[in-house]
Amino acid sequence: MNLVLTNIYLFVMASVLAVLEIQIEGEHGWAKNLPAWRPHSSKWYVRLYSKIMGGKELTGYHISMFTLVLLIFHLPYVFGLTFTPEHWVKTLSLFFMFVVLWDFLWFVLNPYYPLKQFNKEHILWHNKWLWKAPVDYCSGILASLLIILPVSLFDLSFFHWWLINIILFGSQTILVTLFTLYILHIDKWHEVKK
């Protein structure tokens, strides 16, 4: 039961963060029009970040947001959860799942980006795609799995934990997507009314 409640809580947190970013960025994804710090592309850490992030620009906005979320994920240790390798592996694995979920919910909940336009022609900051998803999503899920995999070789319950989280996040995403499309009609908010 704790796994389900934690998963639902993280899903709500990802939804709130996605909506917050929609309010901040509007229709201009990846902080395009924000007055954010943007270091020169000749710096080694900018090139490294761009390589890891599929060619995306390094901005102070995104570094701040990723750091904030990583700090939030470590709050249980501040509040007394025993820091063990097993707990930390789960924390990091959940973080990578969460980042993918949070990014996709930005599109699901964003009236400026109809899901029918969720592709490389309309979402220019996701440069590389694998079938119908940005490569970043595949990399994030794979990183989440690879972090948990070594521990799973000794205790299969870790893999089961990972799989249940993926299934729960996927199910909740489908429900929210259906809600936004068929109840809120979010993809039609910007159509001209006659």
pLDDT band for position 191 (cuts 50, 70, 90): low
Whether residue 192 has pLDDT greater than 50:
no
Rounded Cα distance, 105 and 177, in Å = 8
Tokens coding 143: 């990183």
* In a domain? residue 103: yes
Whether residue 193 has pLDDT greater than 70:
no
Whether residue 38 has pLDDT greater than 90:
yes
Total domain count for the chain? 1
Stretch 34-60: mean pLDDT: 89
What's residue 14's pLDDT? Answer: 98
* In a domain? residue 183: yes
What's residue 15's pLDDT? Answer: 97
pLDDT band for position 164 (cuts 50, 70, 90): very high
pTM of the model: 0.91
pLDDT band for position 190 (cuts 50, 70, 90): low
Rounded Cα distance, 97 and 141, in Å = 6
* In a domain? residue 71: no
* In a domain? residue 73: no
* In a domain? residue 99: yes
* In a domain? residue 52: no
Q: Which range, of 130-139, 140-149, 183-192, averages the lowest pLDDT?
A: 183-192
Residue 27, domain extent: 2-35+84-188
Stretch 30-51: mean pLDDT: 90
Closest Cα to residue 136, out of 149, 120, 148?
120
Tokens coding 178: 């259906």
pLDDT band for position 194 (cuts 50, 70, 90): very low
* In a domain? residue 74: no
* In a domain? residue 98: yes
Stretch 28-52: mean pLDDT: 89
